[in-house]
Amino acid sequence: MSDFFLIAKIVSAYGKKGFLRITSFSDFPERFFNLEKVFIDFFDQKKKFIVEEIKKHKNFFTIKFKNFDSDSDVKILIDKDIFVSAEDSVKIPNGYFFVHDLIGSKVIRNGLLIGNIKDVLSFPANDVYVIVDLKGDEILLPAVKSLIKSFDPSDKILVLNSGEALFEDDEN
């Protein structure tokens, strides 16, 4: 399991006082208001940044870091990803999982390996797991409780209920 979780990307400077416009990757946008520190990757090392202020605009957030007070100060941060430590990650209810927990998980049905989860697609009704089977074909599985017997995020194993239908992706 990773020590850091990606939550946003810095897309541009915002104004002249050191604010940065960010794109959120979080399903919990309110999380930004509780951030005290974040990490940004420089040459494969995570560097800690102290969050001074967060502002919500109509459809995006801006962030200001301590000691970054002008648009020239923040130029080096543009296009960088923002991470939080595992201890600062959002805690989610039982039965819910982060996409990064699901990606790469083995999918088992009736004791047999079906394949691995390659992606999770978000739709209004429910998410859909994209599973690559043993032949390399994609199978689409609606992420609904009735189809899933159990999921172990530490071992990355998703067990399906017996006899449930799997749907191959016809676009391949």
Give per-residue pLDDT as tens, 8-42: 899 999 988 999 999 887 767 777 888 899 999 88
Give 83-136 pLDDT, tens digit per residue.
Answer: 988 777 766 667 667 777 788 999 999 899 999 999 888 788 888 899 999 999
Mean pLDDT of 42-70: 92
- For the chain, where do the domains classified as CATH 2.40.30.60 start and end? 4-88
> How far is residue 39's CA from residue 116's CA, in Å, rounded to a whole number?
30
Mean pLDDT of 132-152: 90
The CA–CA distances, whole Å, from 8 to 74, 89, 97, 160, 168 equal 16, 13, 18, 32, 32
Give 72-86 pLDDT, tens digit per residue.
Answer: 999 999 999 999 887
Q: What is the structure's pLDDT at 164?
A: 53
Q: CA 113, 6, 44: angle at the middle one, nearest 5?
A: 100
Given pLDDT bands bounded at 50, 70 and 90, which one contains residue 166? Answer: low
CATH number corresponding to 99-168: 2.30.30.240
Residue 32 burial (CB count, 10 A): 21
CATH topology assigned to domain 4-88: Elongation Factor Tu (Ef-tu); domain 3 (2.40.30)
- For the chain, where do the domains classified as CATH 2.30.30.240 start and end? 99-168
- Paired sense of beta strands 112-122 and 127-133, if any: antiparallel
- Start-to-end CA distance of the chain, whole Å, equals 31
